[in-house]
Chains A and B, each alone.
Chain A
Amino acid sequence: MHRRARVPALLLLVALLAAACGGNDQPGSGSGGRASSSKLTVFAAASLTKAFEATRDGFQKEHPGVSVTFNFAGSQALATQIQQGAPADVFASADQKNMTKVADLVGAPRVFAQNVLEIVVAKGNPKEIRSLGDLARKDLIVVLAGPEVPAGRYAAEALAKQGVTVKPKSLEDNVKGVVNKVALGSADAGIVYATDVTAAGDEVEGVEIPSDQNVTATYPIAVVKASKNQQLAQAWVDHVASGAGQAFLKDAGFLPPE
């Protein structure tokens, strides 16, 4: 480019960039109308993936201009990220333990759902697994969530209650990892939430665990104190805990909070 033309071209580019980044005011954005309030970041346990994604559209329609972003992972990983200062607005955990871990960083938690465990097996249940006791069989490749993951702890609790000793071949970082290993055919069985079996649809099959052998998981949700969108975050919590979100949770197979 000719030297003289370069400077104005650069200035034009900078001006364009400034214009793009600057005025972001969107009409009717949630609370306050400033650029920062139109994005909501929700950290949620992996088992909430389908239910939360399904309820996102409804929430965004109720709050025009708002876009909700999710970070789904094992609750223990999310809690650590929040402790390290990750920019979450809301935290939804699969157990009280991980909510307590960040107690001084979040507002008052509220239980919004419950869940139970189910054994996940390959489609058709070729290995004929019928109960928790069967998981101790030597011919099976069983995969569990790690002991720090809520699903892993609940599973260990259920197995201990029945006196069953399982030697898992892998300890996954979150409950979806267990589902994936079974769906891919790498593992014969795993212990996941009933909602995970539903969410995986045709790829897997579930073997129910009778309620006297089962463990109930409680899911608390809270607004993160450092959030820059307190009102919006609270709106999400309300939406999920008592509003329209409850219907989606129910559809996914979650039990209502008691």
Chain B
Amino acid sequence: MAVAFLLLPLAGLVREAPWTSIGQELTSPGVLLALRLSLVCSVGALALSAVIGVPLAFVLARSEFQGKNLVRALTTLPMVLPPVVGGVALLLAFGRKGLAGAWLERTFGLTLPFTTLGAVLAEAFVAMPFLVITTEAGLRAMDRRFEDAAATLGAGRWTSFRRVTLPIVAPSLGAGAALCWARALGEFGATITFAGNLPGTTQTMPLAVYLALESDTDAAIALSLVLLAVSLVVLVVLRDRWFPTA
């Protein structure tokens, strides 16, 4: 029964797809625009998540400090927070009248709502935890004696990190990155609330699907199929992590 529950919606999507006109739908300018924007934003979100998330993963895996549990809870929060709530929170922090947003506008003339950067920020907010948690797990599981050995052989910290640590955690990092990217690609609630909706600037694919549903169902289904295909690819790539075969 659980399988039917999971399979039926997907089967419905495939069945209702406008197979004859799908080529046309997928190459229409609006759809291509949303596709390209989604790719740009999700990769941007992944990059942002990696830059601030990987150091965080290290800190969580390796150091002990007061308030560590709080930091860990904070990191996991966006995973359980309803995305639209995340969007509202981002607005209150980074909107033009927000805590940080007002300062950003005053100092740098930078406004985040209604910009592609805002969309990237919204996606990073919800997707970063996936990268951090997975990388942290990989770091914890790693045998630190390799790093010790490298040190005794005269490797500096950066060299040791580059040539010993990184290669060992690469699989976890890769899996975390894939999850982070997929989550960023699918983000809707935070994006539409914080970044707004403008084709070419902030209308990512999930937003395009939602709006297309109100006027052009065929386009909505075509876009949905693309996102479904992407999800399946991620699943296949990560199958060894989720369905261990060894």
Contacts and interface: CB of A to CB of B under 8 A. Distances in A.
Interface of A: 74, 76-77, 80, 141, 143, 146, 148, 168-173, 181, 184-187
Interface in B192-246: 192, 196-199, 201-202, 210-211, 213-215
B44 interface: no
B214 A77 contact: yes
Contact of B95 (A148, A171, A173, A186): A186
Among B91, B97, B197, B202, the one with the most A-chain Cβ atoms within 10 Å of its Cβ is: B197
23 contacts: A76-B214, A80-B215, A141-B111, A141-B114, A146-B197, A168-B198, A169-B113, A169-B114, A169-B196, A169-B198, A169-B201, A170-B196, A171-B198, A171-B199, A172-B196, A173-B192, A173-B211, A173-B214, A185-B95, A185-B96, A185-B97, A186-B113, A186-B196
B97 A173 contact: no
Interface string B159-201: 0000000000000000000000000000000001000111101
Among A77, A143, A181, A185, the one with the most B-chain Cβ atoms within 10 Å of its Cβ is: A185
A76 B211 CA distance: 10
How many chain B residues sit at the interface, stated as a range, is 10 to 19
Contacts of A172: 196-197
Nearest to A146: B211
A171 B197 contact: yes
A181 B197 CA distance: 12
Given A146-B197, A184-B97, A185-B97, A170 B215 contact: no
Given A141-B114, A143-B196, A173-B197, A186 B96 contact: yes
Given A146-B211, A170-B114, A185-B95, 16 more contacts: A80-B213, A148-B214, A169-B113, A170-B196, A170-B197, A170-B202, A171-B198, A171-B199, A173-B192, A173-B197, A184-B91, A184-B95, A186-B95, A186-B97, A186-B114, A187-B114
Contacts of A146: 197, 211
Contacts of B111: 141
Contacts of B114: 141, 143, 169-170, 186-187
Nearest to B95: A186
A252 B202 CA distance: 34
Contacts of A168: 198
A173 B114 CA distance: 15
A23 to B, nearest CB: 31
B177 to A, nearest CB: 30
A151 to B, nearest CB: 14
List 9 tightest A-B contacts by C-beta distance, closest first.
A170-B196, A169-B114, A185-B97, A186-B113, A76-B214, A148-B215, A80-B214, A77-B214, A185-B96
Contacts of A185: 95-97
Contacts of B197: 146, 170-173
A12 B197 CA distance: 53
Contacts of A74: 214
Given A169-B198, A171-B197, A185-B97, A148 B91 contact: no
